[in-house]
Amino acid sequence: MIATILATVMLAALPQPEGRVDAFPGVVVDYDARAVELPGFVPVDAHSEATPEVIIEVIAEAGGVRDHEALVRIEAEARHVHAALLLLGLEPGTPGAILSDGSRAEPTGPGITVPVRFEQDARTIEQSPLEWVHDPEAGDRLLDTNPTFRFGGSSEREFNGENFYMAEAEGVVVGLSTFGSGDPDSFVGVETVGMVPVFDPDTASGDPIWMADPAHIPTFETKVVLVLTPVDQERLDRTDP
């Protein structure tokens, strides 16, 4: 796994090709648009009477680890998403975390937008998946928090002599809540692309309980393409909360 990412860093130093490239299974790098396209589907059913309230803690997951709480499940592996962003010439910053002293470390790194494309009523729609999330009790919408996303890159951790890319182990590619944790001077981050503001997945934290909005989220198993695109840094700084 580490060798794959290191090899990709070396490739990123070479002149970038043009057009669209199937870089990895389930990953298309569009060099002309400077975007990474990730096919997937909506894994939660917010329109079923059996599941009227779906708590959302992840924008995009991989591997089926968090199907029950994600807006999008992508077909790609998390490490390949990281590698594809490297192929666009991006350098990851640091992941976010909920720290042991109660503070929150925001993810740092290049700004990323995370819209999705899908077909509905014979039309191609592109919109932010943030529109699919609300806090029905408070009457708030996730978009009201002015979220931004950063390519922090997930931490790696050793278990039984083997290194693991934590986004792969936890199934979190694009976060909503932040699953990283640890001490302020030594913590393990999880999400490949993290969100600002940082929300705690622990319902006892007092943070909003974000849920899928059936009035906006597409139906269960709707095929989508998640598009990760670098944001102009100056524009990102102007829109940071």
Q: Are 233 and 110 in contact (CB under 8 A)?
A: yes
**Residue 226: per-residue pLDDT:** 98
pLDDT of residue 5: 55
Chain segment 46-98, per-residue pLDDT in tens: 999 888 899 999 999 999 999 999 999 999 999 999 999 999 999 999 999 99
In the chain, % of residues over pLDDT 70: 90
| pLDDT band per the 50, 70, 90 thresholds, residue 12 | very low
- Count of Cβ atoms closer than 10 Å to residue 198 Cβ: 20
What is the pTM (predicted TM-score) of this model? 0.88
For 84-122, write each residue's pLDDT tens digit: 999 999 999 999 999 999 999 999 999 999 999 999 999
pLDDT digits (tens, 9 = 90+) for 205-230: 999 999 999 999 999 999 999 999 99
Mean pLDDT of 180-198: 95
Q: pLDDT tens digit string along 13-41?
A: 456 688 999 999 999 999 999 999 999 99
Q: Cβ(69)–Cβ(59) under 8 Å?
A: no
User: For residue 138, is it left (φ>0), alpha (ψ between -120 and 50) or beta?
Assistant: alpha
Task: Give the pLDDT of residue 162.
Answer: 76
Written as six digits, the tokens of 133 are 């999330």
Quickly list DSSP for 132-175: GEEETTTTEEGGGG--EEEE----EEEETTEEEEHHHHHTEEEE
pLDDT level of residue 241 (50, 70, 90 thresholds)? very low
Q: If we measure between CA atoms, which residue out of 185, 38, 43, 27 comes closest to residue 103?
A: 185
Give the whole-angstrom CA distance, residue 58 versus residue 173.
8
